[in-house]
Amino acid sequence: MRRLGIAVLVTVVAVIALDASAAGAASVAALADQRTITVNGTGIVTSVPNQADFTFGVSTNGTSATAALTANASQMNKVIGVLKALGIAGRNIQTAQISVSPNMNRAGTSVVNYTATNSVIARTKNIAKSGKIIDGVVRAGANLVGGPSLTRSDQQALSRKALTAAIADARARATVIAAAAHVTLGRVRAVTEASGGPITSSADNSAKSFATTPVEAGTIKTEADVTVTFDIA
């Protein structure tokens, strides 16, 4: 009876091993049946920016922190007033930073005076007035100027157009590969989007200069990148 039990056990183990082997073979066969073509696609949409962001600030010194800050506030109010007078709405003017710091002597043993800094980010929807805005705020007392950052107000729509172009580019590439390999391109199996957005800004011959300080709109390129896997029909 014991020998019979051992024989039965051996038989069961053998059947399990055969089943596992069959499952592995089926898995390999399934992988072999997954014939695909994977390609990368790129879409680029070129546009002209319709808004510009600048940073304007005032830096002042004073014998005390209060004196430096008071002088700074007076100048900064003039700068903000000029920005509004030049057509920039209050909602498009945002305080970026306010700071007060001591200035030490060379030995670092005593405070010489204090520096107060205040800056705002201002957005203009009229790039043609950018030069006039820069000149105006500098005359009003701004001694810190940064920018412009040229962008589009409809950036999301441009990103979607770039994605559409990227998918079309991927399909065109896959079609060429399929034709060269003498196979038929099937349905889309998977799509992965890479990060995208405005990538470059450059001036073109149609850009114009404005006021005393020239500002050129140029163009913005919005890029989208995708990886697409197609079945081979």
What is the 3 state secondary structure string of the chain? Answer: CHHHHHHHHHHHHHHHHHHHHHHHHHHHHHHHHCCEEEEEEEEEEEECCCEEEEEEEEEEEECCHHHHHHHHHHHHHHHHHHHHHCCCCHHHEEEEEEEEEEEECCCCCCEEEEEEEEEEEEEECCHHHHHHHHHHHHHCCCCEEEEEEEECCCHHHHHHHHHHHHHHHHHHHHHHHHHHCCCCEEEEEEEEECCCEEEEEECCCCCCCCCCCCCCCCEEEEEEEEEEEEEEC
pLDDT of residue 215: 78
Query: Hey, where are the domains in the chain?
Result: 30-48+155-232, 51-151
Take residue 38 and report the two structure tokens written for it.
């994977």
What is the Cα–Cα distance from 14 to 6, expressed in whole angstroms?
A: 12
- Please write the tens of the pLDDT for every residue from 74-110: 999 999 999 999 999 999 999 999 999 999 999 989 9
pLDDT of residue 75: 95
pLDDT of residue 218: 83
What is the Cα–Cα distance from 226 to 42, expressed in whole angstroms?
A: 7
pLDDT of residue 6: 41
- Please write the tens of the pLDDT for every residue from 37-60: 999 999 999 999 999 999 999 999
**Which portions of the chain are predicted below pLDDT 50?**
1-32, 202-211
Task: Report domain 51-151's class.
Answer: alpha beta
Say which CATH architecture domain 30-48+155-232 belongs to: 2-Layer Sandwich (3.30)
Take residue 225 and report the two structure tokens written for it.
């990148």
pLDDT of residue 210: 39
